[in-house]
């Protein structure tokens, strides 16, 4: 009974904490906005056009969330066996060991992804770096100009030359573009897609390395193939953000580094994947 009680308490606490992290991921996007900064005239790095995303948000979610969670769950079911009991019960019914481990490892994965996204949102709002397509999304005009005045950018940068760039402070202009587009155009650093993609790829690569060590023969090739496929997908997602003029190369590199660090920290310090086999309820 003591073990059942402890398991119930831990289940409630972990569920509550994970939901709190999920809310913390959503709320910053509504409660705060990216820092408003100015720009330099003739800055070629923010003059790219807006184009459609090569990889949709739904595809990113599939590759970086749905597939890793499904693979983690499938691995634990196959590795543990559906009939193995955990010695725990929930409302009078026995809890199988595979379910305990699926809950544990998917929970750690989701927790790490949520904390990484919070870190990204804080950085985006604090830095406020302009995206490569900022001018196209913003359509900057001077205060007092009439909507549709196409000479506004020319007025802002009338004194600028390639050898004498002029800085336009944030109070000297406003955006005629859609407010939502303007907000996104000020959130270039770091790349959230790269963070999530590399977090999933590195976490899953380490998970597979730890949980599929018993594979032998031809099946042993499954481990490096899965690791390579998810790293390739992460690399593809990251590069697409540069091609689509949504992020600067430095944003993507920083995002990949953040995702990798969060994955490594949660695998080695939280998940216990490389520890010795623990008790079923752990």
Q: Could you read off the pLDDT of 45-73 as tens digits, one per residue?
A: 999 999 999 999 999 999 999 999 999 99
Residue 31: pLDDT band by 50, 70, 90 thresholds?
low
pLDDT of residue 226: 95
pLDDT, one tens digit per residue, over 231-241 is 999 999 999 99
Could you give the CA distance from residue 232 to residue 246 in angstroms, rounded to a whole number? 20
Closest CA to 108 of 228, 210, 193, 189: 210
Q: Tell me whether residue 198 is exposed, middle or buried, using C-beta atoms within 10 angstroms of its C-beta: 0 to 12, 13 to 18, 19 or more.
A: buried
Q: How many CB atoms lie within 10 A of CB 160?
A: 17
Residue 194: pLDDT band by 50, 70, 90 thresholds?
very high
Q: Is the pLDDT of residue 13 over 80?
A: no
| Length of the chain (residues) | 282
- Please report the DSSP string for 1-12 in residue order: -HHHHHHHHHHH
pLDDT, one tens digit per residue, over 224-282 is 999 999 999 999 999 999 999 999 999 999 999 999 999 999 999 998 898 865 544 44
Q: Is the pLDDT of residue 144 over 80?
A: no
Tokens of 203: 């976490």
Residues tagged active-site: 193, 247
């Amino acid at each position: 009974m003591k073990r059942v009680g402890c398991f119930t308490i831990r289940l409630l606490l972990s569920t509550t904490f994970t939901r709190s992290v999920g809310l913390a991921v959503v709320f910053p996007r509504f409660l705060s906005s990216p820092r408003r900064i100015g720009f330099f005239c003739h800055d070629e790095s923010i003059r790219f056009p807006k184009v459609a995303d090569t990889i949709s948000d739904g595809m990113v979610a599939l590759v970086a969330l749905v597939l890793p969670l499904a693979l983690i769950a499938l691995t634990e079911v196959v590795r543990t066996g559906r009939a193995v009991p955990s010695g725990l019960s929930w409302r009078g019914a026995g809890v199988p060991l595979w379910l305990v481990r699926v809950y544990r490892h998917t929970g750690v994965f989701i927790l790490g992804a949520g904390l990484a996204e919070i870190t990204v949102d804080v950085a985006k709002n604090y830095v406020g770096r302009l995206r490569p397509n900022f001018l196209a999304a913003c359509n900057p005009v001077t205060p007092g100009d009439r909507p549709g005045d196409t000479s506004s950018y020319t007025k802002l940068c009338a004194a600028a030359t390639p050898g004498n760039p002029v800085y336009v402070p944030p109070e000297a202009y406003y955006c005629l573009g859609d407010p939502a587009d303007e907000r996104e155009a000020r959130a270039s650093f770091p790349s959230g897609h790269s963070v999530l993609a590399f977090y999933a790829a590195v976490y899953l690569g380490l998970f597979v390395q730890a949980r599929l060590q018993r594979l032998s023969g031809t099946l042993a090739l499954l481990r490096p193939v899965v690791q390579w496929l998810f790293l390739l997908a992460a690399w593809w997602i990251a590069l697409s953000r540069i091609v689509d003029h949504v992020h600067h190369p430095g944003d993507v590199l920083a995002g990949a580094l953040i995702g990798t660090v969060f994955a490594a920290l949660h695998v080695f310090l939280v998940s216990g994947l490389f520890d010795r086999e623990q008790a079923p309820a752990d």
